[in-house]
Chains A and B, each alone.
Chain A
Amino acid sequence: EIVLTQSPGTLSLSPGEGATLSCRASQSVSSSFLAWYQHKPGQAPRLLIYGPTSRATGTPDRFSGSGSGTDFTLTISRLEPEDFAVYYCQQYHTSPTFGQGTKVEI
C-alpha cells in the first residue's frame, strides 16, 4: 500500500496570501497518478486536480498541481474566502489511498 503523508497539518493564512501544500508518497507514483480534493464541512468532497497538473471542471486557475515520483504540491496562488477548507491528496497508481489532509484556516 502506498502511504501518503501531507504537510503541514494546518496552515493558518489570510485571504490574498498564497498557500503551498505538500504530499509525499512512500514509493514512486508512476505516471503521476495523483489527485487533490477540497472538503468543506457538511459538503461533498470536490475534485480539484488530477494527473497531477490537470484542473477538474470548474477548478479556478489559482489552483495548480505539480510534482512527480514521490513529491507533489498543491499551490493556491491567492486565497479567496471560499478556499478555507481541508485538502486531501490521493494516489491512483495502485488501489486508491489518501493523505491525512491539510487544513487551511484563517
Chain B
Amino acid sequence: EVQLVESGGGLVQPGGSLRLSCAASGFTFSSYDMHWVRQTTGKGLEWVSAIDTAGDTYYPDSVKGRFTISRDNAKNSLYLQINSLSVGDTAVYYCVRGAVWVEATYFDYWGRGTLVTVSS
C-alpha cells in the first residue's frame, strides 16, 4: 500500500524558516517524480514544487527562491525547505506522487498533509 506521511509543520513567526519531511513507503520511491501541493484558505490548492527522478527541481514563480525541494532516495524521503515565511504561506502542505510528466502531471497518491501556520 502506498503511504506518504508528512511531518515538520507547526507555528512559525513571519520571516522564519521551516523544513517539511515526507516519509514514503509501499512503492519504489526513487522511480517516481515527487511534488508538494499546498492548500490555503484563500487560494485553494496550489502546486508549489516538484523533483524528478534525476533530482532536477521545478517551482512556480510564486515560490521560486524561497522554496527548496529535495529527496533522499536511500531514506525514501522527500523534503521541502521554506524560507522567509509570510502569512500567505499558512497552509496544509501535502506530499504527492506524480503520475506522468514532472512538469505537467496529475497526482495519484497524496499524504494527509502537515499544517504550517505563520503568525506572530
A contact set with B: CB distance below 8 Å: 33, 35, 37, 42-47, 50, 56, 88, 90, 92-101
Contacts and interface: CB of A to CB of B under 8 A. Distances in A.
Contact of B112 (A33, A35, A43): A43
A101 B4 CA distance: 23
Nearest to B59: A95
A33 B45 CA distance: 17
Contact of A56 (B37, B47, B60, B108): B108
A95 B104 contact: yes
B114 to A, nearest CB: 12
Contacts, number: 58
Contacts of A98: 44-47
Nearest to B113: A44
Contacts of A44: 4, 94, 109-113
Nearest to A33: B104
A65 to B, nearest CB: 12
